[in-house]
Amino acid sequence: MPNSKPTSQNDYQMQDIDIDNENTIRNEDDGDDTQSTLSSAVSHDAEFNPVQLNESQQSADLNNQTHPKLRSDTRDQTELNQELTRQLSVADAIFLNESRTERRGSSQTGEDASLDRLEEEQYEAEEQPLDRATSNVERIFTNKSTGQLDLPPDGGYGWVCVACVTAIQACTWGANAGYGIFLEYYLSNNVFTNATAYDYALIAGLIVFTAQFCAPFAMILMKMIGFKLTMSIACVTHFLGYLLASFATKIWHLYVCQGVIVGVSYAFLFVPASNVIPTWFLKKRAIASGISYGGTGLGGVIYSVSVNATIKRTGDQRWALRMVGLTTLFAMAISIFFIKQRKPFKREKLNFQNLKKNTQLMFSKKVLERKSLWYITLWFAMGIIGYNLVIFSYATYATTMGLSTSQASTLTALINAAQTLGRPMMGFVSDRWVGRINYSIVLDLLLTIFILAFWINAKTFISLLFCGLLIGATIGVGNVMNIVMIADSFNIEEFASAWAILNMGIGCFSLPVEVIALALRDYTISNPFLYTQIFGGLLFFISIVIIAPQREWAVRKSMKKESDQLIRELRDLEPVGSKDLHNVHVEDMTRELKKRSDKLEGLLQNNPGMYFRRLFYPMKI
């Protein structure tokens, strides 16, 4: 979002052109979402004479004095808009699209335009800056009935909603993490006649595939029938899936019930729930989302232990499936009752026309042509395959090494416990110190080392325990970082479409994961999981190679934005230098800006050498 007041000569005295400063990376078409900030390479005590201000700057000062509304809270608005850009969600994209649709509809029907359109027209007529009118923060969070900016409270009842979302995550993806215990039992016992190990493995992949693939359609249905009704239907369906699976006598029963029904219900539960948090939080959105991500690990701990204990007590999987169905039904029913959207989506009629319109919005041809989408999708795909290989193979590997089923269950629980702490920390560390792509690369490298150097050589319970803690704390990197990478790479109009395509792509990659893991097992050697472990470690290394071009793109965009800003700074200094040729401060500042501009121009050259310099350039990205 551009400054509401053009930079004055005084501002230049304390500016520093530092390319290592953090820059928000956005699509070039999204100019109103970004602001490049420069801090001081040259510092001076002398002040410029007010008469040196050019006419446009004096006019801007006069405008700000005449219209204090434009000037008030400008810095806060800038910070909020930058925070929104960094923590973009699908809900934000939908609200912005609704705002634009209302403006177009009002213009066509002659009705009153929305508040932001009225402000745009008023300020444009008076030749005022349009910062507040064009701010995405205002477009998304302006209350249409009162015309006032209604920002999320960043607390209050929002924390109740965070607890509800955490519980729903625990009952969906967390419960699914416990499938490793079911898988180990199915493989160790001839539960279904004529069923092979590949059948059980494919069911594990089917759950993730249907959940991810149906996520965009869950978003569309939620807009038409409401998020609580969508979640309520899915909650009952989720329970029925587990209940019917407990009565399964043939393997195809398990495919339909524990595979398809449970997997589809996941999508219509976690998608609506995850879109509640953005309506309650803005400044603290990263913290709130991080806590909710921890629900996956929490659920994994609970259901890994409880499923194993129930199977041991009852002698088979039937009551374990019923236990999962009943406990998740109870927990999610309470969560659905208390959770609420602070700002509901605009309801649309359930008809073919609206279905077609929303489907077209979700699957944009323009987004499909963007390389960034496929870099992030393939990077996440490698991570999700590696994630499932570890989560669903760790317990079976432990029993193969001679550990008991109780010890294997404990190890699975510890991996999930480490995820509970590790996932929230990923967002915090990456945003505060390292950068999102940088930290993702670091974690992928660590996972490669943990799997190839540690897991392969871990044979005892203690060694597997420590290995599991290290892997668990880092293995959720793809699940946490994919959404923020999409937010960094696409503007707000393209965000929902990129998110939808990514989910469907990841679903396709998730389907054969466990089948691949089983096919790689070789029981003719002392470590039957050796090839599975090597494959898993290489997946995380390959993911580094895949995401590397995305880092170069991000660095290049950041450099280009800073270069453009430097050119504007130099252009603004030219009138001052011409009026006072002996002003040493202007000369020094011009020299520093030109030096930095020349360096950036060299780094932005389109040749292999500069490509690799940008790829490894030390920058928080």
User: SS3 for 134-163, per residue?
Assistant: HCHHHHHHECCCCCCECCCCCCCCHHHHHH
Q: Residue 50: inside a domain, yes or no?
A: no
Same domain, 191 and 331: yes
Closest CA to 132 of 61, 67, 70, 72: 70
Residues 274, 317 within the same domain: yes
Helix axes 530-579, 608-615, angle to 10 degrees: 100
Last residue of a domain, one of 362, 389, 423: 362
| Structural domain count of the chain | 2
The token pair at 515 is: 């089948």
In a domain, 533, yes or no: yes
Does residue 512 form part of some domain?
A: yes
Asked whether residue 185 falls in the same domain as residue 320, the answer is: yes
Of 346, 348, 101, 340, nearest to 224 by C-alpha is 348
Q: What is the mean pLDDT of residues 95-111?
A: 61
- Say if residue 613's pLDDT is above 50: yes
Q: Report if residue 43 sits inside a domain.
A: no
Q: Are residues 565 and 616 in the same domain?
A: yes
pLDDT in tens, 549-599: 999 999 999 999 999 999 998 888 877 655 555 567 778 888 899 999 999
Are 212 and 274 members of one domain? yes
Q: Report the candidate in 71, 77, 59 with the shortest Cα–Cα distance to residue 126.
A: 59
Asked whether residue 614 falls in the same domain as residue 473, the answer is yes
In a domain, 18, yes or no: no
Judge if 205 and 162 occupy the same domain.
yes
Judge if 354 and 445 occupy the same domain.
no
**Could you tell me the CA-to-CA distances from 450 to 115, 216, 378, 447 in Å, in that order?**
54, 34, 22, 5
Distance between CA 336 and CA 340 in Å, rounded? 8
Distance, CA of 147 to CA of 122 (rounded, Å): 15
Return contacts of 547-550, CB within 8 angstroms, 24+ apart: 547/375, 547/376, 547/379, 547/437, 547/440, 547/441, 547/444, 548/441, 548/615, 549/371, 549/375, 549/615, 550/372, 550/375, 550/376, 550/379, 550/437, 550/485, 550/489
Can you tell me which residue has the tokens 């990514």?
502
Q: How far is CA 4 from CA 25, 58, 112, 203, in A?
A: 21, 13, 26, 56
396 near 532, Cβ under 8 Å? no
350 and 381 share one domain: no
Task: Please count the residues of the chain.
Answer: 621
Within 10 angstroms of residue 568's Cβ, the number of other Cβ atoms is 13
| Domain termination residue (choose one: 362, 392, 424) | 362
Q: Is residue 440 part of a domain?
A: yes
Domain range spanning residue 221? 154-362
* pLDDT value, residue 99: 72
351 plus 417 within the same structural domain:
no
Q: Considering only residues 237 and 57, tell me which one the structure prediction assigns the higher pLDDT.
A: 237
The first and second tokens of residue 340, run together, are 């609420």
Following CA atoms 462, 463, 466, 468 in sequence, which dihedral angle do they give, to the nearest 10 degrees? -110
The last residue of a domain, from among 295, 329, 362: 362
Q: Is residue 499 part of a domain?
A: yes
pLDDT score recorded for residue 21 = 42
In terms of Cβ atoms closer than 10 Å to its own Cβ (0-12, 13-18, 19+), residue 62 is exposed
Is 604 a domain residue? yes
Render pLDDT for 403-445 as a digit per residue (tens, 0 to 9): 998 899 899 999 999 999 998 899 889 888 999 999 999 999 9
We report the CATH number of the domain holding residue 233 as 1.20.1250.20
Give the residue-averaged pLDDT of 513-521: 91
355 and 378 inside one domain = no
Question: What pLDDT score was predicted for residue 574?
Answer: 76
> Which residues, 6+ apart, have CB-to-CB distance to 607 below 8 Å?
none
pLDDT of residue 4: 40
Dihedral pair phi/psi, residue 142, rounded to 5°: -75, 130
550 with 575, same domain?
A: yes
The two tokens of residue 527 are 């470590």
How far apart are the C-alpha atoms of 270 and 130, rounded to whole Å?
A: 38
